[in-house]
Structure 1
Amino acid sequence: MRTRNDRLRHAIGFEFIGLLIVTPLASWIAGVELNHMGLLALFLSLLATVWNYVYNIGFDHFLIKNQGYSHKSLNQRVVHTFGFEAGLLLVALPVMSWWLNISLLEALLLDLGFVAFYIVYAFVYNWVYDKIFPIPREIPEAMSH
């Protein structure tokens, strides 16, 4: 299982790189000033960072309890990514709606764009992160080939 410091590095790196990519793009798509979208993006990023840390610890404990190790298969990575995004969506929608002065439906449509981006980004980021910072001595023999 990953250490607390490793999880913090993972979460901070994920959010920082994601913010650099998504904030200007969202500002342009929504027709909102960059500084206004930037404050929303920063808040959502901080929220997502906390959720990322908590969710990943919980997911690792679930895997260890049920399979004895925290290495994820491809299917588990897909479930992991969708579960993370669904949990974040519950809090993000009302905040986006209020901050941008749009309906919940409009916030949902905007958020679906964020979700589409972050699902692909999360999958790639987590895969690359695991390659750069592998979990030491935990890969089961059957999965090491």
Structure 2
Amino acid sequence: MSMRSFSDRVRHAVMFELIGIAIFTPAAAWLFNQPVAHMGVIGVVSTVATAWNFMFNLGFDHALVRFTGRVAKTMPIRVAHAMLFEAGLIVLLIPFVAWYLGISLWPALMMDSSIVAFYLVYAFAFNIAYDRVFPLRRLGAHGRTASRALPA
């Protein structure tokens, strides 16, 4: 059994955030009729999600191994993974969105719900793509990486 390395988790988190911001910023500016700069700030501050992404995925993998004995994710586990990840972000980011845009918590929650919907789909698709582009490798008898990848 093999888990993702620390450096692999760093690569995962950085790629997730950079690609997400590149898609999110112009789309959110258009959708919410806000200046791109405002949505860019919201997107960059949302990189709090980078730390959350790293900690959440590391913890999720450890919990998965503890409860199932493996790191391979089934489709229901992938859905739960994406939903739990986004639920944590709601709690972290709504107060900032409300303060920065000068709106109350309810409109911030509605805006954040739209953002969460985007990132929920994005996280689901990104993680499948990441697992295919950077598959886990089995360790051979001598600790070397074998040529066969583990299922995603």
Say yes or no: TM over 0.5. yes
1:36: Cα distance to partner?
2.0
Alignment equivalent of 1:4, drawn from 3, 6, 11: 6
Q: Name the residue aligned to 1:66.
A: 67
For the residues of structure 2 that align with 1:20 and 1:34, how far apart are their CA atoms? Answer: 11
Show the 5 A alignment for 1:26-45.
Answer: 26-44=28-46
Q: Name the residue aligned to 1:14.
A: 16
* Aligned partner of residue 37 in structure 1, secondary structure: helix
Q: Name the residue aligned to 1:105.
A: 106
For the residues of structure 1 that align with 2:136 and 2:69, how far apart are their CA atoms? Answer: 14
Paired-residue identity, %: 45
1:86 aligns with 2:84: no
Give the AA of the match of 2:74. Answer: S
Give the AA of the match of 2:21. Answer: L
Runs of 4+ residues deviating >6 angstroms: none
- Which range moved further: 11-20 or 35-44? 35-44
> 1:88-115 CA deviation, whole Å, 9 max, x = no partner?
1001100100001111110111111111
**RMSD (Å), alpha carbons:** 1.4
Higher CA-based Rg? 2
* Aligned partner of residue 137 in structure 1, secondary structure: strand
Q: Which has the higher contact order (CA 8 A, sep 6+)?
A: 1
For the residues of structure 1 that align with 2:133 and 2:6, how far apart are their CA atoms? Answer: 17
Give the AA of the match of 2:49. Answer: A
Gaps of at least 5 residues in structure 2 are 140-149
> 1:14-45 CA deviation, whole Å, 9 max, x = no partner?
1101101111111122222111221121011x
1:71: Cα distance to partner?
1.1
Gaps of at least 5 residues in structure 1 are none
For the residues of structure 1 that align with 2:39 and 2:126, how far apart are their CA atoms? Answer: 23
The TM-score normalised by the length of structure 2 is 0.87
